[in-house]
Amino acid sequence: MKIHDWFNGPYPARVRIALAEKDMLSRIDFVSVNLWTGEHKQPEFLAINYSGTLPVLELDDGTLIAECTAITQYLDALDDNPVLTGRTALEKGVIHMMTKRAEIEFLDAVSVYFHHATPGLGPQVELYQNQEWGLRMRDKALRGMQYFDRVLQQQPYVAGDHFSMADIAVLGGMIFASLVKLAVPEECEALRAWHARVQARPSVQQWQRMVERGAPQN
């Protein structure tokens, strides 16, 4: 299997952390697609993923699976031990719901802020920017942080009692927020405590060490 990604991107981080949770990193060949030079928007990559986004999983038979949630669901099911995406119908439903909320209310909002109200990936990539829209999405991301803080006041993890794909999605939002220096509000104590706990997980530590090495390789 191959994964087309960029080593320190917030969205690719979601799949890399999921792979580490499943002890599957050694089974993957990583193909670097440089976000900062806009390689993901060039015709060669668009032929792989119409959306021009990372990451993309390429199976040995040539099948291509894009979108972090879809990739994680596929990988988590390979060993019939879906620890990240849920075992029961209820777990699957709640995890999917909270993952979607993490994307809409937090992670994707930070992404829009990055691309529209900061220099983003630079003028060669950011061909259109709407600063007002970007700032609105920054405020939405802050509201998202407050929402997840309320959730985490009631339970240890984003989708309940166990670490899941939903936690990884919120963690992706935290990674992106750190990149754009969007601080978690001081009053979000539960979110801050959760963040400290998940950062200590071996999977997250492994991703962090890779980023600190500053190399695109696995």
Question: Are 63 and 113 within one domain?
Answer: no
Q: What CATH number does the domain containing 38 carry? A: 3.40.30.10
Question: Are 50 and 138 within one domain?
Answer: no
Question: Are 112 and 193 within one domain?
Answer: yes
Domain count, the chain: 2
Round to whole Å and give the CA distance between 167 and 86: 13
- Determine the average pLDDT of the residues in 74-89: 97
> Residue 217 has what pLDDT?
53
Round to whole Å and give the CA distance between 74 and 173: 22
Question: Are 94 and 182 within one domain?
Answer: yes
Question: Are 76 and 98 within one domain?
Answer: no
Sequence-ordered list of residues with C-beta below 8 angstroms from that of 145, at least 6 positions apart, any chain: 106, 177, 184, 185, 188, 191
Domain annotation covers residue 69: yes
Domain annotation covers residue 168: yes
Question: Are 52 and 100 within one domain?
Answer: no
Question: Are 74 and 33 within one domain?
Answer: yes
- Determine the average pLDDT of the residues in 79-108: 98
Question: Are 154 and 132 within one domain?
Answer: yes
Domain annotation covers residue 170: yes
Q: Are the CB atoms for 110 and 149 separated by under 8 Å?
A: no
Burial class from Cβ neighbours inside 10 Å (0-12, 13-18, 19+) for residue 23 reads exposed
Question: Are 195 and 102 within one domain?
Answer: yes
Question: Are 71 and 121 within one domain?
Answer: no
Distances 177 to 19, 45, 108, 172 between C-alpha atoms, Å: 22, 26, 11, 9
Q: Which domain holds residue 176?
A: 89-201
Question: Are 108 and 195 within one domain?
Answer: yes
Look over the chain and give the mean of its residue pLDDT values, rounded to a whole number.
96
Domain annotation covers residue 70: yes
pLDDT at 124 over 90: no
Q: What CATH number does the domain containing 187 carry? A: 1.20.1050.10
**Alpha-helical regions (H) of 51-107:** 68-77, 89-102
Domain annotation covers residue 150: yes
Domain annotation covers residue 186: yes
Domain annotation covers residue 101: yes
- Determine the average pLDDT of the residues in 184-197: 98
Q: Taking the model in full, what pTM does it have?
A: 0.96
> Residue 218 has what pLDDT?
46
Domain annotation covers residue 218: no
Question: Are 76 and 119 within one domain?
Answer: no
